[in-house]
Amino acid sequence: MPIYLPIAEISVNLFLILGMGGAVGLLSGLFGVGGGFLMTPLLIFTGIPPAVAVATGANQLVAASVSGVLAHWRRGNVDLKMGTVLLIGGVVGSGFGTWIFTILKSAGQVDLLISLSYVVFLGIIGALMLNESLRSLIRSRKGEIARKKLHQHYWIHGLPFKMRFRKSKLYISALMPLGLGFLVGILSAIMGVGGGFIMVPAMIYLLGMPTSVVIGTSLFQIIFVTANVTLLHSIATQTVDVLLALLLMSSAVVGAQFGTRLGALLRGDQLRFLLAFIVLLVCGKLAFDLVLTPEDLYSIGLMSER
Amino acid sequence: MSIFKKLTSLFLFACLLVPFRAQAEPSLVTDISSHLISVTSDFTGTDLLLFGTIEAARENNPARHGDIIIAVRGPHKDLLVRKKERVLGIWANTQAVDVERIPGFFALASNRPIEEIADQGTLERLRLGPNRLSYQSQNPGEEFDLFKEAIIRQRSQENLFITNENGVQFLGNQLFRASIHFPANVPVGNYVSEVYFFENGDLISAQTSPLFIKKFGLGRTIYDFANEYPALHGIIAIILALIAGWIASAVFRKD
């Protein structure tokens, strides 16, 4: 059943859009990532203009994250204090990232840069997660109990402005989550995603937060980052397609609910293994597209969209 | 602005033709089944019927009905065509060429191959055919023809440049009709439909009429709102998302 999208200005198949929303929503609920790194490429593949895909994807992520956060909230899996500190860094970072994006755009090659940063970041994070989760899976299969030191001390722990995060069972410098939020904010502005797929592993491996709290807290932070992106795009480019966003939302929020429930059935290392696999899959596809000879070497755009 | 310029020039052109064939009178009468295509949320493309009659002057030669070429074109926009090249193993945009005022949609219909109807010069002058459109650039570069071909190739693949050599049907010697298909991805904007009547390779008469493709219904409302109140539109989009997320969460709450 075709439906005409008013801002994207094309007709798309209603069920294809609903299916995509549902599938991405499922993953978002399962892993606590916004799913933007899947949604945006999928929308572009459907023929929706990249600018509309990025802006509308952000709008849809707001809904998916809210629905996910509420589900995690009831289980007490959201560290509000940590989320707020991350968010402050994120807002400053996304402002800075938007500034970088504008400079790169006027220099041309912004598409290539987006693809390259996707490949690099997805590749690094996917490989790290796959490695760690595989070790953890093998350990648990052998029946060994993963022995984790209660307090591992890095240089990180010597930083000033220490704060106590009760939910995360951490006593670390506030500079750490602030800096992390800032960096992810930059990346999300450049790559047009919520940044969950970077945030989640960083919270686990860099901050040392428990996996159970990480997902809810990451979703909490993503709500505000994506809402910010939606507003900025709506004002600057008028590329938020509300009809498309509503379609994606209606199926994604349902998918996210199932994802959250499914996530409760799986162990942390299994979840991380699955996420690592999907991240590497998307990375591989993007890397392949960069080296594959394109079907048509020429691409047509409007002068006004330059 | 541009459409009026185009219409005016065509009108003047048609006026110029008349003195040469003073005895022909206004020999062409045409119309379209609709001058307005409304794009609503269930728009999947549409067909328009162009029809007309060649009046008078035909009595001399009832056996032949002459030739009709119909062109529908619009809305014209400046394009930026980029070319990819392999750089360090990766395909990257290396060249960009601007091409001025290319129609987003161009359909051509005739009762037989247009090369048989009129000579190259006439066809070029009237810009009949995707390869005879005006392709001009501020800085064309050496490979401009390749960029031009890329536009024709891609627009044709998307059914936005259509040529149908048997698209015009004659009913007897005077009546003719043609069906023009507008695909779902047709751009909204101002169009012109042009009907040319040829006889023995000479352009006898020409007629143009405007055609509009506009958004209507909910889609139109959303589009206008997004452009007129962008900040408010963004805030509403966020609020809708918050509500949708909350509703889903409430609905799926089990305990």
| Helix or strand run (H / E) with residue B42 | none
Task: Tell me how far apart the alpha carbons of residues A225 and A101 are, in angstroms, rounded to a whole number.
Answer: 16
* Residue B34 Cα to chain centre, angstroms: 15
Whether the Cβ atoms of residue A168 and residue A206 lie closer than 8 Å to each other: no
Residue B244 with chain A: CB contacts under 8 Å: 63, 66-67, 246, 249-250, 253
Interval A168-184: pLDDT, tens:
777 888 888 899 889 88
Per-residue pLDDT at B18 = 45
| Helix or strand run (H / E) with residue B90 | strand B90-110
Cα end-to-end span (Å), chain A: 33
Say yes or no: B83 and B189 in one domain. Answer: yes
CATH number of the domain bearing residue B179: 2.60.40.1930
B17 pLDDT higher than 50? no
Q: Which of A2, A234, A301 is facing B184, going by the closest CB pair?
A: A2
**Number of domain units in chain A:** 1
Say yes or no: B236 and B211 in one domain. Answer: no
Q: How far is A212 from chain B (nearest CA, A)?
A: 19
Identify which has the larger pLDDT, A53 or A158: A53
Per-residue pLDDT at A259 = 84
Q: Which of B44, B90, B219 is facing A290, going by the closest CB pair?
A: B90
Say yes or no: B161 and B249 in one domain. Answer: no
Strands (E), A87-231: 162-165, 170-173
Say yes or no: B139 and B82 in one domain. Answer: yes
Determine whether the interchain pair B246/A67 forms a contact, defined as Cβ–Cβ distance below 8 Å. Answer: yes
Say yes or no: B141 and B53 in one domain. Answer: yes
Q: How far is B51 from chain A (nearest CA, A)?
A: 29
Q: Domain residues for B72?
A: 2-215
**Number of domain units in chain B:** 2
Is B203 in a helix, a strand, or coil?
strand
B147 pLDDT higher than 90? yes
Task: Tell me how far apart the alpha carbons of residues B154 and B145 are, in angstroms, rounded to a whole number.
Answer: 14
Interval A237-282: pLDDT, tens:
778 888 899 999 888 878 877 887 888 888 878 888 888 888 888 8
A305 pLDDT higher than 80? no
B132 pLDDT higher than 90? yes
Interval A37-61: pLDDT, tens:
778 778 877 878 777 887 888 888 8
A152 pLDDT higher than 60? no
- Candidate from A153-157, A258-262, B150-154 with smallest mean pLDDT: A153-157
Identify which has the larger pLDDT, A272 or A190: A272
Kindly state whether B237 is in contact with chain A, defined as any CB-CB distance less than 8 angstroms: yes
Q: Domain residues for A233?
A: 2-305
Per-residue pLDDT at A151 = 52
Segment B114-132 mean pLDDT: 93
Say yes or no: B195 and B158 in one domain. Answer: yes
Determine whether the interchain pair B240/A242 forms a contact, defined as Cβ–Cβ distance below 8 Å. Answer: yes
Say yes or no: B179 and B226 in one domain. Answer: no
Band of pLDDT at residue A211, cut at 50, 70 and 90: confident
Band of pLDDT at residue A108, cut at 50, 70 and 90: low
B97 pLDDT higher than 80? yes
Kind of pairing between the strands at B28-32 and B46-54: antiparallel
Segment A71-81 mean pLDDT: 86
Task: Tell me how far apart the alpha carbons of residues B138 and B135 are, in angstroms, rounded to a whole number.
Answer: 11
Say yes or no: B129 and B225 in one domain. Answer: no
Determine whether the interchain pair A111/B93 forms a contact, defined as Cβ–Cβ distance below 8 Å. Answer: yes
Say yes or no: B8 and B77 in one domain. Answer: yes
Segment A202-207 mean pLDDT: 82
Say yes or no: B156 and B193 in one domain. Answer: yes
A146 pLDDT higher than 60? no
Say yes or no: B253 and B151 in one domain. Answer: no
Identify which has the larger pLDDT, B236 or A63: B236
Give the CA distances from residue B26 to residues B13, B29, B49, B196, B210, in Å, rounded to whole numbers and listed in that order. 14, 8, 22, 12, 19
Say yes or no: B182 and B229 in one domain. Answer: no
Test the A interface: residue of B155, B252, B253, B255 with most A CBs within 10 Å: B252
